[in-house]
Every structure is written in structure tokens, then in C-alpha cells.
Amino acid sequence: MMDKPQTLNPSQAAERLSLPDGPWKEHWQDSEPFREENPFYLQPGYLEEACSFLRMDAEVSGVILAAARQFGQNPAWQRFLCHGRHVLRDAERYGYREFMALPAEAGDDGFCYVIAFLSALPEIREMHARRGVPEEITVATLADLERWIRIYRQWYGRWGFGERNWLFHPFRGNLFQLGRLQFLLDRFEDDMHLFRSPESGELRLLAPDLARFRPDGQFDGTNGIRAENPETAYFRETTEAFLGTLISPQSTVTGRQVSLGKQDWRKVLRKGDPALSFHIPASGPMDPGECRESFRRALDFFSRHFPDRPFRAFFSHSWLYDPQLADYLPEQSNIIRFQRMFYLYPLPQTDDRQIFERVFSRTFSFSEMPTPKTTLQKAVLEHVRRGGHWRTSGALLLPEDASTEPDRRNQIPK
Ligand SMILES: CC(C)(COP(=O)(O)OP(=O)(O)OC[C@H]1O[C@@H](n2cnc3c(N)ncnc32)[C@H](O)[C@@H]1OP(=O)(O)O)[C@@H](O)C(=O)NCCC(=O)NCCS
């Protein structure tokens, strides 16, 4: 018999669970009415069924069930779980930020978030069914939970889960795995302006007004490096033209000022426009043909199941889009072939944290450098040895280009 989660104020909960202080305490009382005895989501029967629906490996479901047993014996954890679940379920009201504000390291190796996500399974299944999403897509999408539990083990050598911010999206029903890639109903929040010439199909990307950039074409401050005399980009719209500083498809601010006459150029994307961000889960190599197929599927999937959520572009931020990778990887490598599908662009305030995390591990450090094994690992270290810096970059693709052959759009403008 489980104890009823106690009435605890957030400071008491924080003290008993050694949780860090933070804005998460603000809405704590909102979840008070939802305290319940023997919550369904801690019952072994419920969890076994949920894990089985997600086709989880017996080893991983065993670890989850063991964590649930521990929560069941600890009223303070149950109360915290009840709160986490409430914030996740009522995301319309609290938004993504509130969930992110919950303590990331909650001393339980993240399993309270695993249980909170699994508790949302009935709602997600129902929401997908209402939209007509086939069950195999629901299962493939939510399988990310097990993937991240395994990645945690790979990184830290013990079972755990550290990706609650990311898993928020599939468990709120906004992200879908369609073949090799995942797609999130998102907004383009980069402050850039994208234009297309309807006649030639060419694209031009213009930098944000007043952005400072270095002589190497990166935004000032990238990798923590500031130029002595950075240049300043500008953007203007007149009755006849769009004027601004050009960003090359190889991810550099060129410093070239261009004028795009309105009779020849259409604005096709700006900050705040609805867009699909795409993501590459760690599930083996990525065949570029499979990736292209995923974009085609996304076009069909979202128009069929989310006709009320039209979008203007696909975009992504990742270490994968650093064009410097082409100096090291063979032409035929999947990463280089994938890069060629997109208009690559630099991001402000970016750094090399992600490449080390995804190519080595989150625990990577220069003082205890692992022996590089793959071509990419050797390349990543070699570049640093030569004094270079890696950086997370952006990639853009317009829906109408998703089924065309790569390279066509990615020419350096004359
Ligand atoms: C993205 C990903 C699927 C690309 O792998 P891939 O299809 O094998 O890529 P390539 O064909 O270009 O690989 C070229 C070389 O780099 C190596 N390589 C690729 N990704 C690697 C990684 N993450 N870590 C170490 N080595 C890697 C390959 O093994 C190959 O080297 P080899 O010839 O010595 O074996 C892979 O990096 C991955 O799973 N990453 C984790 C998920 C991720 O980072 N997603 C991006 C979102 S932020």
C-alpha cells in the first residue's frame, strides 16, 4: 500500500529531496488538488503496459519499474512527481518554460521525469488517434524515451535520464518521428530574412539588422571570441527593394551588401514564421536517401494530420551543419551529403559544446581526452589541435525543395 503524497510546501519538498532552489516553486500549490493515493502511474501493471506499448527492452522497463517502486515508498517524491505531471499535462497554461524550470538534476537520476512522461501516454495516444496518426508513428516517436535512457547510460555509466526538455515535445504531441528524422511543429526564431527569386529559384539570406560579425564571417562572440573591430550588418525594406548584408549558403556573413528588387524577389521566411524543425536521432548511420524520404513524408504527414498548422520552412540547429566538417570528412560521408541539401547559416552566440557531446560524450574533457576511433573523432580533435573552433550552425530547406536534388540552391551568389 502506497502512502498518500503529503501536503508539502515547495521548500519542504526541496529540503527532503535535496532539490535546488528555483522558479519551479512558484506554481507548486497549483498541483495540490491533484495529490492522490496510489496514483495509476506508479502501479506496476500500468507501467508494464506502457513500456510494452513503447516496445521497450525488458532491461530498461525493469529499471523504470524499480524506480517507480522507490517513488512509491517516498511521499516527498510522489508529491514532486504529481507536480511535474501537472505542469506537463497543463502545458497549454504553463508552457514549455515552466517544465524546463523544474530542477534538471533531481537526485533520482531523472526517473521522476520518465514516470511523468509515461503517465501522459493515454493522453498522447488519444490525441494522436484524434488526428489520425497511425499507431506505428506514435510508437516510433515515443521510442525516443528509451533511446535517451540508453544514451545516459553510455555517457555516465549508470541508468538515468537527462533529456526532459527534449522529451517534452513528443510527450506533448508536437514532435513526430517520420522514418529517419524527427520533425517538431515549431517557429523559426532566428533573426534572418530569406528571399527567393520565383524565376530562377535562387535563395538569398540576409543577416539581422545591426548584428556584429567578425572578419571570418561568424557573429561576434561565437566560441567566446570577440573581434577588435567587428563589422555591422544592416537590413532595410524600401518600397522597391530589400537591402541588406548577405549570408552565404556556407554559413558565413559575407559583408556584401545586396539589393533585392521586389519585382524579382519574394520574402519567404522571417523570424517568428511557423516552421518545422528537424532532428536526427542517434539510431545508427543516416542514409541521405532515407533522410530525403523523411522530408517527403513530413510534407504529406503534416498536411494530412495537421492541416491547421501550415509551415513555411524546415530548419535545424546542429553540430552537423558546421561546413568546416567538409575539410576533414570524405565527400561521400553521410554528414557531408546531408549538408548539401541545405542553406547553411551561422548562429549568434554559438560554440563547440554540442559537437564534443555528440561525437564523444557529455563527459568529454580535454584533460582526460579519449583515444579517437572514428574518422570524425580524429577530425574533431585535429581541428582543435590546429587552433580551429567548431560551432553549431543552422540549416534551412524550403518545402518546395524537399524533393529536388541537393546542391541546386547552394551556389554562392554572384
Ligand atoms: C548523425 C549521425 C547519424 C551521422 O553518422 P553517419 O551516418 O555514420 O555519418 P558519416 O557517414 O558522415 O560518418 C563519417 C565518419 O564519421 C564517424 N561518425 C559519424 N558520426 C559520429 C559520431 N556521432 N561519433 C563518432 N563518430 C562518428 C563515422 O563512423 C565515420 O567514420 P569511419 O569511416 O571511421 O567509421 C551520427 O553522428 C549520430 O548518430 N549522431 C548522434 C545524433 C546527433 O548528433 N544528431 C544531431 C542532432 S544534434
pTM, two decimals, is 0.92
Ligand 1 binding site (Cβ under 6 Å of any ligand atom)? 279-280, 282, 285-286, 318, 320, 329, 333-335, 354, 358-359, 374-377
The protein residue whose alpha carbon is closest to atom 18 in ligand 1 is 376
Segment 169-176 shows an average pLDDT of: 93
141-to-45, 186, 380 alpha-carbon distances in Å: 23, 16, 30
- How does pLDDT run across 322-336, given as a tens digit for each residue? 999 999 999 999 999
CA of 288 to the centre of ligand 1 (A): 12
> What SS3 state is found at 409?
coil
Q: Closest ligand 1 atom to the C-alpha of 360?
A: 24
Q: Which of the four CATH numbers 3.10.450, 1.10.287, 3.40.50, 3.40.630 does domain 195-276+311-414 have?
A: 3.40.630
CA of 252 to the centre of ligand 1 (A): 24
What is the reported pLDDT for 200? 94
At 316, which helix (H) or strand (E)?
strand 314-318
Q: Where are the domains of the chain?
A: 10-173, 195-276+311-414
Report the chain's mean pLDDT, rounded to a whole number: 92
Q: Which residue did the predictor score with more confidence, 405 or 191? A: 191
- What distance in Å separates the CA atoms of residue 375 and residue 111, rounded to the nearest whole number? 35
| Cβ–Cβ under 8 Å, residues 234 and 246 | no
Mutate to test the pocket of ligand 1, among 335, 347, 380, 391 (most ligand atoms within 8 A of CB): 335
| Cβ–Cβ under 8 Å, residues 370 and 243 | no
- How does pLDDT run across 61-71, given as a tens digit for each residue? 999 999 999 99
Buried b (16+ CB within 10 A) or exposed e, 318-336: bbbbbbbbeeebeeebbbb
| Cβ–Cβ under 8 Å, residues 233 and 209 | yes
- What distance in Å separates the CA atoms of residue 125 and residue 376, rounded to the nearest whole number? 39
What is the reported pLDDT for 412? 52
What is the reported pLDDT for 7? 79
Residue type, 86: H
What is the reported pLDDT for 408? 45
